[in-house]
Chains A and B, each alone.
Chain A
Amino acid sequence: MRATRKKIQNPWGGFLFVLPSIIAMAIFVYGMIGYTFVESLENRYNAYTTKIEFVGLVNYIELWSDPEFTHALSNLLKFTAVFMIGCMLSGLIMALLLEKGIKGEGFFRSTYLYPMAISFIAMGTSWRWLMDSARDDDATGLNYILKNIGLGALQSDWYTSEAGSMYAMALPAIWQMAGYVMALFLAGFRGIPDDLREAARVDGASEYKIYRHILFPQLSPTFLTVLIILGHISMKVFDLIFGIATKSYVTKVLAIYMWQTIFDFQNYAKGAAIAIVILLMIAVAVIPYLIYVNKTEEANK
């Protein structure tokens, strides 16, 4: 049987089918990353560089002494911390509120998810107005709400102050992605067989204990997925910040700085080096994750 099967199924047919895509990925993903890496080792510091030389890791070393780069990097890390924690918590809360089913669930779920369908350049207009820094009598947006519900002391400069800018910038990001996290957790919760809960209930376990000791441990693959997804989105964040604050110094992150380096200063070598730094920060988490996913799939067969 095996032998005849092999004869009928020509294994190379499939390969030929996907060959165009393999070539495309090899050139446009891996080849171009390689090209960018090589460029980051050269001296093309402006559009007029004619004599291109190999300078090694100099561009990377110089990034660390470039205050604007370290500023953008620290902004990015602050943003990432608040964004990931905020998204996880709010997505998890939404999922917990919905997971047992409730009348009107579909309505709430759809509202929590719609931000994913809108571009951040568009939502940036609303958020810029909501996070307007005028206070008290001039207050608009969120400051106006805070003032009128008796929380005037909480009025904020939002994304315009040096100290709080990245934390404020994480708000619209959480707003956009929390629904996605909710969906992942809902899928996770609802993939756990009901028997597990029932058995624990029969044994007299409290609802809290059921979540703590039975449901959450089952969700660890979901937690991992959420971490990877939020992490890589955060490292790349661009539109969201550009849509609200364009190239403002206080909210600059690596992706914005890279864009500025290329377009405003035409410093290709440095822009390439920044891009590679972003890539590496993503790759250290994503590559092990992909290997893990691949392995679990093989094991499930």
Chain B
Amino acid sequence: MSSDLAARVTQKLDVRTKKRLDGKGQFWLIFRYFALTILFVIAALPIYVMVINSVKGITGVSQSAAFIPPTSLNFEAWGPTWEVLREPMLRTLFFVTQSSIISAVIGAINGFVFAKWKFRGSNLIFTTFLFGMFIPYQAIMIPLTKFNQWAGIGGSIYVLVFAHVIYGIPICTLIFRNYFAAIPNELIEAARVDGAGMVRIFRTIFLPLSIPGFVVVLIWQFTSAWNDFLFAIFLTGGSPKLSVATTALNFITGSGNQVYYGNNMTASLIVSIPTLLVYLFLGRYFLRGMLAGSLKG
């Protein structure tokens, strides 16, 4: 169960030392902190560079001073950058909200069936769904573009809602299936004795219990759709009318503008803020979504 995996990762171990550490024990503890701190510096470096250079103005980023924090805060680069990014980011928010909600509903229904209302061959079908999680989207991109034109959503932002809903089915189903599998069968048996059918059992027992599952799926779909670049660039063809957060950012930081680091780093930071906030406040749920993708349980 992915929630079990996440619980294992985040479990609080008793770290109080029961006895005084001997010399060897102290050495290892210091060594561990030293190594962890080095890894912390490496992990934080790219975002550190991004943050400090976003408050040095548009041209104020001298090449060698970039590691040094600014002496005074200069938000000059934020205004114009936000102006350019506002529309694409609002557009992204618009489609991501829809695709996440639809994905979660579909995932809940599928997950319930694959975990608790199995039919002959359901495990095999579930496995064929999972394969959809691993495929390179290049292998479906050409016909998908044609389909979108045929379906009349080509050239509108709904191509992205559609793509993220369809290709999100495997992961959302998997997350809910693992989540529901942990709910005891006795609940169903009891409801059945009372004469409840599948739809009623799903609606009255499983849906109310599934809030954490919904949070995991919504966060996962939100983050992956917000950060997605592949679908965006293939399906919107780089049209400015349909630019989303990542494609707009790529347009700002792309070749030719690479010297304006202050500006580019500000833009990159602005685009990252929504997903970083989600991670900061709901990181536990994000971890669950991430570990669900590993299939194991």
Instruction: Enumerate chain A interface residues (CB-CB to B < 8 A).
Output: 5, 8-15, 17-18, 20-22, 24-25, 28-33, 35-36, 39, 90, 93-94, 97-98, 100-106, 108-130, 132, 134, 138-141, 144-145, 172, 175, 179-180, 183-184, 186-187, 190-191, 221-222, 225, 229, 232, 235-236, 238-239, 242-243, 246, 255, 258-259, 262-263, 268, 271-272, 274-276, 278-279, 282-283, 286-287, 290-291, 293-294, 297-298
Contact = CB atoms under 8 A, between A and B. Distances in A.
A258 B138 contact: yes
Contacts of B199: 13
A183 B44 CA distance: 18
B268 A125 contact: yes
* Shortest beta-carbon contacts, A-B, top 10: A101-B13, A119-B227, A14-B117, A117-B279, A126-B46, A32-B140, A275-B138, A122-B268, A35-B143, A14-B113
Contacts of A287: 131
B207 interface: no
Contacts of B228: 119
Name the prevailing secondary structure of the B interface residues.
Answer: helix
Interface in B204-233: 223, 226-230, 233
B253 to A, nearest CB: 5
Given A36-B142, A100-B13, A113-B279, 20 more contacts: A9-B117, A17-B110, A25-B128, A33-B139, A102-B32, A111-B40, A112-B39, A112-B40, A119-B227, A119-B228, A122-B268, A122-B269, A122-B272, A123-B268, A126-B47, A128-B258, A183-B291, A225-B294, A238-B229, A282-B134
Interface residues of B, number: 108
Interface in B50-106: 50, 63-64, 66-67, 106
Contacts of B10: 106, 109
Contacts, number: 300
Interface in B26-42: 29, 32-33, 35-36, 39-40, 42
